[in-house]
Amino acid sequence: MPHAVLPGSTIGILGGGQLGRMMAIAAKRMGYRVAVLDPTPDCPAAQVADDHVAAAYDDHVAAVLLAQQSDVVTIEFENIPAATLEAIEPMVPVRPASRVVRVAQHRLREKSFLAGHGFPVPAFCPVTSLEALQAASREIGCPAVLKTATGGYDGKGQQRIESPQDAVGAWKAVGEREAILEEFVPLEKELSVIVVRGPGGHTVCYPPSENTHSRHILDTAVMPAMVPPDLARHAQKLAAGIATALDVVGLLAVEMFLARDGGLLVNELAPRPHNSGHQTFDAAVTSQFEQAIRAVCGLPLGSTALHRPAAIANLLGDLWECGEPDWAAVLALPDVKLHLYGKAEARPGRKMGHLCATADTPQEALQRVLTARSLL
């Protein structure tokens, strides 16, 4: 096994949102110190970290400062500039590596990597101009989805095209910048698999999560997904294969489409903890956040088994429009857990927290968490 970064050492995290916060909590439980780089004062992760470097993600001087006080550096989200990671890789282990992030933060590089390694993806074409978009819409057919190559998440930077005549409006809507056009896939379900891979190549997978979205933002996630066992194993094998091909060290969330014809197609990759794996905090032997710490520190990986089926429901800032939600009503339910992220301002569409419910079956867990959220 490669040299391990042991408890008592300092883990640097680029990104200070809720994912960084939950990684920091897991690291502190294990006896690590945590340093966070994030431009926002009092960001969620900084509230539980030992040190906070308040700087922009493209500030290489600040990144070097973080690296100097860290024994290993990881990321909270994949849109950290790859150049920032490259600047500190000669100084400290960076996991996942900049080359992994460079692939995952650019949709065209991501799809090209997957297709080039034989993984199933929707048909796609690169788009760099209106003329290229019009040609791509004829090649792929309509409906199709135009996505910006960089910077998009939670549905941002995406436009559906119903016919080639929609190309002009769609091109303007995404800012007339580099994009990718993908075929529209009629869906049966949306799934994701979180795979964990250590520096020596050992890999473990969580059960697939079954996800629903509202306004392009994850709304609920149920683990295990309500799919046949052979399909679940196929999804895990697919995710593990991608993690190995990318040579990921850390976590990789693989978002997939289950098409109506029964086929699985890879949609997106996220080399970090993922919203659809929050159930593991309360329902798994080892949470995704502890696994992230184990993997980047070169420690043995923990069990991904679930104690019980679990479901989460996101809490968006819209819930605060009429005042503070009724937390006591939710906490009166014995199988429901409340997670709030410490964000100062509640805005519509902003992820402020989540609820997690456990039950004897995935269906019961989902119903329980939806009932709990309705009480707010």
For residue 339, the model assigns a pLDDT of 98
Clarify whether residues 199 and 331 are in a common domain: yes
For residue 7, the model assigns a pLDDT of 98
Low-confidence ranges of the chain (pLDDT < 50): 1
Clarify whether residues 256 and 320 are in a common domain: yes
Clarify whether residues 231 and 368 are in a common domain: yes
CATH number of the domain within which 199 lies: 3.30.470.20
> What domain count does the chain have?
3
Tell me, yes or no, whether 152 lies in a domain. yes
The pTM for the full model equals: 0.95
Clarify whether residues 335 and 355 are in a common domain: yes
Could you write out the DSSP letters of every residue in 55-115? --TT-HHHHHHHHHT-SEEEESSTTS-HHHHHHHTTTS-BSS-HHHHHHHT-HHHHHHHHH
Q: Is 189 exposed, middle or buried (0-12, 13-18, 19+ CB in 10 A)?
A: middle
For residue 152, the model assigns a pLDDT of 63
CATH number of the domain within which 68 lies: 3.40.50.20
- Cα–Cα distance, 237 to 272 (Å, whole number): 19
For residue 279, the model assigns a pLDDT of 97
Clarify whether residues 33 and 160 are in a common domain: no
- Cα–Cα distance, 200 to 2 (Å, whole number): 7
* Residue 349 C-alpha from the chain's centroid: 17
- Cα–Cα distance, 175 to 160 (Å, whole number): 14
CATH number of the domain within which 175 lies: 3.30.1490.20
DSSP 276: G
DSSP 3-state assignment of 290?
helix
State the residue range of the domain holding 167: 123-183
Of 221, 228, 256, 233, give the one whose Cα is nearest residue 365: 221
Clarify whether residues 164 and 303 are in a common domain: no
For residue 304, the model assigns a pLDDT of 98
Q: Which amino acid, 21? A: R
Clarify whether residues 173 and 206 are in a common domain: no
Count of other CB atoms within 10 angstroms of residue 48: 17
Alpha helices in the chain, H assignment, sequence order: 18-29, 60-68, 82-88, 98-104, 107-116, 130-140, 167-173, 229-246, 279-283, 288-296, 327-331, 362-374
DSSP 3-state assignment of 188?
strand
For residue 153, the model assigns a pLDDT of 63
